[in-house]
């Protein structure tokens, strides 16, 4: 609880109730960016939440297992009662790849907000990239990668 109390004092950080923070969790919120953690939220050991710009909202009752990564430049919203398995990565950026003659590392990043609905389960090692919308109740298996497409629960 002490670490959560210290976290609440940081500029741009809002705790909406009790938040549990595991060992080795790193949270960085740049000036002008915002982080909001809902009541009952759990950040597992070794997880990283890096808010470079925009905002990150992690809903009430959501659990990030060990070694998860959330990186925001445009914005990330994770709904209530979600479970992000170990080593899940949620990033609202991906490399631009418009010029075939220019190395990818020199082309910059494209950013688009990510929205993960309520009750979503992301299996171990899943990756959610820029522009993704994951509908309420969706279950994504281990090592699944999704980007700027709508992911809906159940058959289409």
Give the model confidence (pLDDT) of 100-114 as tens digits. 898 888 888 889 999
In this prediction, residue 155 carries a pLDDT of 44
| Cβ-count burial 34-44 (b if 16+ within 10 Å, e if not) | bbbbbebbbbb
User: How high is the mean pLDDT of the chain?
Assistant: 91
In this prediction, residue 5 carries a pLDDT of 73
Q: Tell me if the pTM is above 0.85.
A: yes
**Are the CB atoms for 52 and 72 separated by under 8 Å?**
yes
Element housing 8 (H / E): helix 2-8
Bridge partners (DSSP) listed for residue 94: 110
Express each pLDDT in 11-29 by its tens digit: 999 999 999 999 999 999 9
Express each pLDDT in 84-134 by its tens digit: 999 999 999 988 888 889 888 888 888 999 999 999 999 999 999 999 999
């Amino acid at each position: 609880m002490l670490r959560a109390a210290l976290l609440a004092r940081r500029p741009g950080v809002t705790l909406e109730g009790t938040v549990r923070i595991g060992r080795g969790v790193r949270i960085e919120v740049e000036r002008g960016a915002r982080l909001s953690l809902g009541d009952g939220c759990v950040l597992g050991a070794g997880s990283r939440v890096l808010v470079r710009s925009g905002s990150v909202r992690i809903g009430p009752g959501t659990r990030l297992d060990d070694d998860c990564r959330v990186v925001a430049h445009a914005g990330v919203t994770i709904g209530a009662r979600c479970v992000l398995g170990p080593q899940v990565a949620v990033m609202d950026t991906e490399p631009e790849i418009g010029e075939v003659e220019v190395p990818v590392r020199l082309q910059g990043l494209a950013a688009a907000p990510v929205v993960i609905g309520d009750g979503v389960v992301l299996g171990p090692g899943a990756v959610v990239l820029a522009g993704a919308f994951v509908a309420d109740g969706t279950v994504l298996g281990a090592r699944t990668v999704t980007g700027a497409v709508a992911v809906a629960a159940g058959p289409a």
